[in-house]
Chains A and B, each alone.
Chain A
């Protein structure tokens, strides 16, 4: 009897747990798709689009907080011209970026390179998300466990008392 109750309680808590993991998987998958789509976005086609793509990844050397694509200063215009010249000469966008990195170091990359200490801003959001999910999951599990455990706690001493009092109720009649 109590065995039957226990297993239904366990089953009740097990079903939502798999639902939680399903939800977590869905969120991660969705985030992955969003990242993949925003990264590829069909691939730049024309020279102008390629120049724009390379330029938006490079720091304007004299203004620093703007990308080469966004800065109106002459130095950034010269950098865009250099990007275009190299692309027209047959370099791939990666080779053009590598040229600027070879001259300026990784400082010139507008997004931090995914290695070394600059890996932190790439990894930290994912870690924070996982930590958040872990907290939510453990809270949900605890909340689910509590009512079933209290139900079990009643059994030993109080079951006898309930039986006694029920018997006492029945006696007068």
Chain B
């Protein structure tokens, strides 16, 4: 029925301009959609991902300190701000970071802040070599068998540093080497939380 009425008219006249418009619009839609998607996607760094753990409770662990042989538990650290640093002796940016951590530790280590390092895919012997070469760390260096703690913290590479509040909640996370200023900046709100009198003198 429809076929015949349409057929009776001139097909070009009946759907010429109307049809051409529809085809133009229909073919432009996917082109614009793909262009918009590329514009959105290419402007982003795919490895720049928000850490899923900031604001959540820091995972429990019980890890051996290579310096003392003692086992350290996350649960013992309640009431203290914690700087938890994942590192490796084979990691070149960790060398530069090591000096920054030492100066931060010298400034904040006796204000109640606990500094902890966790070795990532590394051996205690290599770590000892590293400390001989680049300076001894005055804080515990923990062995993480099977990287289980690194997985619990969603570590995606070294160095990576977590700033944990006295309440045991992760307040900040930093991928890549931290500077002294980054440590001081991320610790400031945590110091306020644990001791209101301490935050004022955050300079070196």
Q: Does B42 contact A (CB under 8 A)?
A: no
A82 touching B146, Cβ below 8 Å? yes
- In the complex with contacts A78-B146, A78-B147, A104-B156, A64-B47 CB distance below 8 A: yes
Q: Which residue of A lies closest to B7 (CB)?
A: A149
Q: Scan A139-162; emit 1 where CB is below 8 A from any B CB, else 0.
A: 000000110110011000000000
A6 touching B157, Cβ below 8 Å? no
Q: Does B73 contact A (CB under 8 A)?
A: no
A10 touching B157, Cβ below 8 Å? no
The residue among A82, A100, A103, A145 with the most chain B CB atoms within 10 A of its own CB is A103
A82 touching B121, Cβ below 8 Å? no
The SS class assigned to the A binding surface is helix
Q: How far is the CB of A100 from chain B (nearest CB, A)?
A: 8
A10 touching B4, Cβ below 8 Å? yes
Instruction: Bin chain B's interface residue count.
Output: 20 to 34
A64 to B46, CA, bound (A): 10
Q: Does B50 contact A (CB under 8 A)?
A: yes
A9 to B156, CA, bound (A): 67
Q: Does A45 contact B (CB under 8 A)?
A: no
CB within 8 Å of A: which of B106-123?
120-121
B49 touching A107, Cβ below 8 Å? yes
B11 touching A146, Cβ below 8 Å? yes
Q: Does A79 contact B (CB under 8 A)?
A: yes
A68 to B67, CA, bound (A): 33
Q: How far is the CB of B55 from chain A (nearest CB, A)?
A: 13
A6 touching B4, Cβ below 8 Å? yes
- In the complex with contacts A9-B3, A105-B52, A152-B7, A61-B157 CB distance below 8 A: yes
Q: Residues of B at under 8 Å CB distance from A?
A: 1, 3-4, 6-8, 10-11, 30, 37, 47, 49-53, 120-121, 146-148, 151-157
Top 6 nearest A-B pairs (CB, nearest first) are A149-B7, A105-B52, A103-B154, A78-B147, A107-B49, A104-B154
